[in-house]
Structure 1
């Protein structure tokens, strides 16, 4: 799966993860709600995080026995860079 096949919400998750240092799911949820105004329940958040992990864009680790953290994988970072380059090319003529 390419980054272009992800949902907008999944891409937003990746940008939030990129901006935080090993965030927990709760920290990601709080950032989405604070900065983007996106109310997110666990039933939406964690399946989407699981998809990003399964697709290799995000890696999951353990902070403790009950709490996971998330970081972008090398593939995830590269995908975001490529997406940004594509967006920049597409918008270069927009004023």
Structure 2
């Protein structure tokens, strides 16, 4: 998790909180949470990074739409990151 950007960590948290979200639904959720527009050119390369690092899985809903799911390694990374952050709080 420490090797990810903040945006990639946000994506991973979002994927973990949604049931097999599409890229579009991930984008909509993050835009609602951050009040910022997320472009296609920023979203999909970062999702691909999470998949390539083994933190998320990617599957096909139909010929035009993919879904994303957090992998077991992704869950482990989120838990470890949360625990690390919790030890830093007073």
Q: Taking structure 2 as the reference length, what is the TM-score of the superposition?
A: 0.97
> After superposition, what is the alpha-carbon deviation per residue over 1:31-88, rounded to whole angstroms, capped at 9, x for unaligned?
0111222310000000000000000000000111110000000000000000000000
Where does structure 1 lack aligned partners over 5 or more consecutive residues? none
Aligned partner (choices 5, 8, 11) of residue 6 of structure 2: 8
Structure exhibiting the larger radius of gyration computed from Cα positions? 1
- For 1:84 and 1:76, the matched residues in 2 are separated by 12
Where does structure 2 lack aligned partners over 5 or more consecutive residues? none
- For 1:6 and 1:52, the matched residues in 2 are separated by 9
Partner of 1:45: 43
> After superposition, what is the alpha-carbon deviation per residue over 1:12-40, rounded to whole angstroms, capped at 9, x for unaligned?
00000011000000000000111222310
Q: Structure 1 stretches (4+) deviating beyond 3 angstroms?
A: none
Q: What is the total number of aligned residue pairs between the two structures?
A: 90
Q: Taking structure 1 as the reference length, what is the TM-score of the superposition?
A: 0.92
* C-alpha RMSD of the superposition: 0.6
- For 1:38 and 1:8, the matched residues in 2 are separated by 14
